[in-house]
Amino acid sequence: MSQDIFVSVLIPAKNEASNLKSLLEEIRIALVDEAYEIIVVDDGSTDASLQELRQTRHSGLSTLRILRHERSLGQSTSLYHAALAA
């Protein structure tokens, strides 16, 4: 991104494939006039969460960054890793 980021939205997610698309769209709408990034940590999901995130990023949400834990490390660790990436 060429502009400075003023808002980082950190989201831990595990098995949230059915909710991610609508959540990310709501965030995009809410922050349309802001310089922002969204960092989602897929915490070892066993559903299609990772695929949903990749598809959403590919279809135009360039502010989306995806981190992946191969196994579940928990919400606190996921937020910590997202904060380190921000």
> Dihedrals φ, ψ of 15, to 5°?
55, 50
Give the residue extent of every domain in the chain: 7-85
Q: What pTM does this model have?
A: 0.90
Tell me which residue has tokens 């959540």: 23
Q: Is the dihedral of CA 27, 21, 67, 46 positive or negative?
A: positive
Contact between 45 and 18 under an 8 Å Cβ cutoff? The reply is no
Alpha-carbon distances, residue 35 vs 2, 31, 47 (angstroms): 10, 8, 31
Average pLDDT over residues 27-41: 95
Residue 2 has pLDDT above 70, yes or no: no
CATH dotted code for 7-85? 3.90.550.10
Rg over alpha carbons for the chain, rounded to the nearest Å, is 12
pLDDT digits (tens, 9 = 90+) for 36-58: 999 999 999 999 999 999 999 99
